[in-house]
Structure 1
Amino acid sequence: MSLLSFKQSKSRRFEQLVQPHLDVLYRFAFRLSGQQQDAEDLVQDVVVKLYPRLDELEAVEQLRPWLNRVLYRHFIDQVRRKSRQGDVVLSDLVEADGQADWLDSLESDNAGPDLMLEHARLGPALDRVLATLPPDQRTLVLLHDVDGWRQEEIADILDIPLGTVKSRLHRCRAALRKKIHRELEPTRHLERVGE
């Protein structure tokens, strides 16, 4: 086999392994970063990093969670690197505006006016509340409640015990409920004059 055909063969094998997972990787990267360009860069960095490790990729039994774990670790490394460059709060590294798009995709085509009004009110409030969570908590909630990942898969991706995933998810949901309740609570009721 010539060197050129070997390189083409390696390229094809790598593409066959990774290509089916690129959409999932991009969605996960977007959930983490909140920005289209950052998500694309994150996926590209991971793919470039993994290309020389084709033999290792071929040996992985469940490639999807493994790829997501690599992507998550790469994202965390970037966040840590950025935070060392200056005094930056981790939650400030992901902008809230990028989180708005995923709620729009949840709206039903046949929603009635009441449901549309509720979504119009709840969507932006939920985006604001999610943006206040630290990236690790936001990632956990988005992976489980939005993307539908099982807790076992999340534990594998984030490389933490299953019990930790369950307790963190419980705490995150409780904090979100309180924050969303406060966010949607009408401002102080003013008493009518003359009553």
Structure 2
Amino acid sequence: MALLPFRPSRSKRFERLVQPHLQGMYRFAFRLAGQQQDAEDLVQDVVVKLYPRLEELEAVDQLRPWLNRVLYRHFIDQVRRKGRQSDRPISEVADPEQQAGYLDAFASDTPELGEQLDLARLGPQLARVLESLSPDQRTLIMLHDVDGWRQEDIAEVLDVPIGTIKSRLHRCRAALRERLQREMEPFSVTGRVEQ
């Protein structure tokens, strides 16, 4: 009697494929949707839609960018259906103290006291400046500079050429730098201290 090779159940195979990518999908969904519940719903919708397509998932070479592209397209479809703005300012999601704490949480090491004071002063200003960027600019900066996405992955997910991502990222950083300098400059053109 020949033994049949053991093949894990469909749900186990799906879980092994998708589970390692769920946190990244959630972070991306949060950047797009701007709220925890909307991000969770977005990821859940995508996972439910993909479950019947297990064989297609198993054939994908690089699953992370593919999953994020599916997530992005699903988000765009939802926005079009609902006819509402896709991204809300961070001020609608969290109060200023939480915003500063969220941005400061990305520091890799504990800074010296002087650096801590600079960060405490810079955090709220950076949050205000990030909020002043367009939703597309803010999402791109957060994906690349905060979450560490490669430009190639962003281009693949957004389905635009890599050159477009590079130029958009350059313009976003320039706008961020200009607005941050204006925010931190205590003197106006007239030479008086601004309030």
Q: Is the helix fraction higher in 1 or 2? A: 1
Alignment gaps of 5+ in structure 1: 1-5
Hey, what's the Cα distance between the residues in 2 that align with 1:186 and 1:78?
Answer: 43
SS at match of 1:148: coil
**Code of the aligned partner of 2:111:** A
Distance 2:119 2:152 in 1: 30
After superposition, residues 143-162 of structure 1 pair within 5 angstroms as 143-162=143-162
Distance 1:169 1:128 in 2: 19
Normalised to the residue count of structure 2, the TM-score between the two structures is 0.81
The answer (yes or no) to whether the contact 1:107–1:119 under 8 Å persists in 2 is no
Provide, for residues 158-191 of structure 1, a one-character-per-residue CA deviation record: whole Å limited to 9, x for no partner: 1100110011111111111111111222254548
- Shift in Å, 1:135: 2.4
Partner of 2:127: 127
Task: Pick which of 32-41 and 101-110 moved more.
Answer: 101-110
Determine the structure 2 residue equivalent to 1:137: 137
> Which secondary structure state, in structure 1, belongs to the residue aligned with residue 58 of structure 2?
helix
> Alignment length, in residue pairs?
179
RMSD: 2.3
Shift of residue 108, structure 1, vs aligned partner? 5.1
Question: Residue 44 of structure 1 aligns to which amino acid in structure 2?
Answer: Q
* Cα deviation, residue 109, structure 1: 5.2
State the match for 2:89 in structure 1: 95
Cα offsets for 1:37-89 (capped at 9, x unmatched): 2211111111111111111111110000111111112222233333x25xxxx
How high is the sequence identity, in percent, across the aligned residues? 67
User: Any unmatched runs of 5+ in structure 2?
Assistant: 1-6
Q: Give a deviation string over 1:80-103, Cα, whole Å, max 9, x none.
A: 333x25xxxx47x42313472541
Q: TM-score, normalised by structure 1?
A: 0.81
Return the alpha-carbon distance in structure 2 between the equivalents of residues 64 and 50 of structure 1. 14
Q: Do the aligned residues in 1 keep the contact of 2:21 with 2:64 (CA within 8 Å)?
A: yes
Question: Structure 1 residue 104: deviation in Å?
Answer: 2.7
1:108–1:162: structure 2 CA closer, same or farther, 3 Å change rule? closer
The answer to whether the 8 Å contact 2:28/2:68 transfers is: yes
Over 3 Å counting, the alpha-carbon distance change for 1:34 and 1:49 in structure 2 is same
| TM superposition shift of 1:134 | 2.5
Q: Give the structure 1 partner of residue 168 of structure 2.
A: 168
In 1, Cα distance between the equivalents of 2:166 and 2:110? 34
Matches within 5 A, 1:55-74: 55-74=55-74
